[in-house]
Amino acid sequence: MSKKETTYSVNKEVIEEKEYSTLNLGPTHPATHGIFQNVLKMDGEIIHDAVPTIGYIHRAFEKLAERRPYAQITPITDRLNYCSSPINNMGWYMTVEKLLKAEIPKRAQYHRVIIMELSRIADHIICNSVIGVDTGAMTGFLYIFQWREKIYEIFEEICGARLTTNIGRIGGFDKEWSKKAWDLIDTFLKEFPKGLTEFSNLLERNKIFMDRTVNCGPISAERALEYSFVGPNLRAAGVDYDVRVMNPYSSYEDFTFTVPVGTQGDTYDRFMVRQHEMWQSLSIIEQAIKKMPVGAMHADLPDFFLPPKEQVYNSMEALIYHFKIVMGETDIPKGEVYHCVEGGNGELGFYLISDGGRTPFRLHFRRPCFIYYQAYPEMIKGIMLSDAILTMSSMNVIAGELDA
Amino acid sequence: MELLEIVNTKLKEHFAGDIESAEQLYDYPVFTVNKDKIHDVLKFLKEDETLNFHFLTDLCGMQTADEKQLGVIYHLHNMPKNYRIRLKTFFDINKPEVATATDLWPSANWMERETYDFFGVKFKGHPNLKRILNVDEMDIFPLRKEYPLEDQGRTDKNDSMFGR
């Protein structure tokens, strides 16, 4: 009997037969929290490649803005990042004020700071609690969401709206805030720290949560800068860039706060940066209330500030102003400005060109989501599908801001 | 104002004839650059050690008021020194071609696609230049002024009705 020859494949290259499957994630998938489509090339459960398609809720804001008086563009900005509408509103007002070279009274500026920090907290509550939901931790979400509700009650008391706020005016605010609004803010400041601590205790050092989020969808600081990351996502990667500190607007230089940074740029760091920012926002609000200056709530801009009702009924000039403001018949000086504010997702910019007419000649929104979402395919390459969902929610991609 | 001079001297040294204008508009120094040299200028600004404009804040398109030219506007940022500048380049609307910046910043990819989508600016060397927010079948470039939303010259509402 001859010996059978056996060939061993130890030193031979293994050629695996691979077939990738295509998976359509979205456009309307419950896990993506918004209308995002990603055509994924999957190797089992591992993502090999992703092609995002965006524009499902494109509403032509930049075109619409060219046909609208300046005051009527504010509702458009509401619908960019609708989780923190007031920041968008204030950013837009400040852009126009920069063009008009208007001096805003300190009191109005401090009120703006309070409203912006409240909405930053609301924005971060949504993002962080949804990260929890995507890891399977529903409890934190259910508990902390009532605090977002409380913030919306404050907005409602100040301006009448909750989500798409259209809060304030070009030049400041329409009126003093009511006592009820201040009471609501007071209660919020007193009670929210307890709620936030509860939420932190549930997730921050939770073994399961950390296993899911640490090293999930990381990006290096260099790559993040190349992709023009801003806001919490850039800070999570270790770059301490915050518009509030670098180019202070609306008196942010008067307040003391720290800018939290991460090291890995992964989902856990993004979560933690947002957690700490909420504490900083609380402290800024407290400082603003403590230091609140006296003075007017609105700059001296008769072209943008509705005259008191009794004057409208009794004097011709006030009536004309009222009519002109409501109909948007105010000419804006010629000029070209770029103004940016630190939105919920980072540097939200407004590039405005005015040709001296009643409407902008060209208005461009620098939407942070739109710019950093293009790094998403690179960030999820080689990770599991469920981690890709988590990465997306931790980047806080808001469909309204993405598609404009 | 100092920043305008710093950048202007540097640019004049290297691209003497290609900087068409340099001015301060509000808080931003603004430079208009010849469209054939825009890529070189961007590359120089990014790689120069003192200027170090390493961050592309924004890229968008525009159309000039006479409707004969299109433009691309770049906002650059040097984070360590907090320098911010704006660059502009203009070209004929019938030949809207300009070099891409995707090789300098990967973030320029979608911003250039958006500019193409709305203005029809063709970025030479772009890896995937197609529409991004509008449907692929669209055959116009909607942000151009030739597509007005509604009658622009409304005469029913002017100041003469109020006696001024």
What stretch of H or E contains B90? strand B83-92
For the stretch B60-102, pLDDT in tens is: 999 998 889 999 999 999 999 899 999 999 999 999 999 999 9
Q: How far apart are CA A336 and CA A361, in angstroms?
A: 10
Per-residue pLDDT of A168-210, as tens digits, reads 888 889 889 999 999 999 999 999 999 999 999 999 999 999 9
B94: domain range? Answer: 2-149
Angle at A158 between CA A93 and CA A186, to 5 degrees: 115
Query: Omega before B96 cis (within 30°)?
Result: no
In a domain, B46, yes or no: yes
For residue A1, pLDDT beyond 60: no
What are the tokens at A327? Answer: 């109909």
Q: Is residue B17 situated within a structural domain?
A: yes
Hey, is the C-beta of B30 within 8 angstroms of any chain A C-beta?
yes
Q: Given an 8 Å threshold on Cβ–Cβ distance, is A228 in contact with B150?
A: no
CB proximity list for A402: less than 8 A, separation 6 or greater: A34, A36, A54, A367, A369, A370, A373
Name the phi and psi angles at B76, rounded to 5: -110, 155
Using a CB–CB cutoff of 8 Å, tell me whether B62 touches chain A. yes
What mean pLDDT is predicted for residues A81-104? 92
The CATH number assigned to the domain holding B91 equals 3.30.460.80
Phi, psi of A348 (to 5 degrees): -100, 115
Residue labelled with tokens 């430079």: B31
Could you say which of A66, A247, A366 has the minimum Cβ distance to residue B58?
A366
Whole-number Å distance between alpha carbons of A312 and A325? 12
How many angstroms separate the Cα of B143 from the Cα of each of A62, A202, A282, B64?
Answer: 8, 48, 41, 12
Q: Which of B25, B55, B162 sits opposite A228 (nearest CB)?
A: B55
Residue of B77, B135, B136, B152 to mutate when probing chain A, most A C-beta within 10 A: B77
| B156 found inside a domain | no
CA distance readout (Å), A26 to A30, A36, A40, A52, B8: 8, 6, 10, 10, 48
Question: What domains are defined for chain A?
Answer: 52-403 (1.10.645.10)
Query: Residue A233 has which token pair?
Result: 């996502």
B113 inside domain: yes
Could you give the number of structural domains in chain B? 1
| Position B145 in a domain | yes
Q: pLDDT per residue over A332-353, tens digit each?
A: 899 999 999 999 898 999 999 9
pLDDT, averaged across chain A: 90
Q: Is residue B60 part of a domain?
A: yes
Specify the pTM.
0.90
CA distance A314 to chain B (A): 17
Cβ-Cβ pairs closer than 8 A, A with B, add up to 97
Contact flag B109-A374 (C-beta cutoff 8 Å): yes
Chain B residue with minimum CA distance to A68 = B149
Q: What is the pLDDT, as a whole number, of residue A99?
A: 92
In this prediction, residue A328 carries a pLDDT of 81
Mean pLDDT for the stretch of residues B45-67: 90
CB A56 within 8 A of CB A37: yes
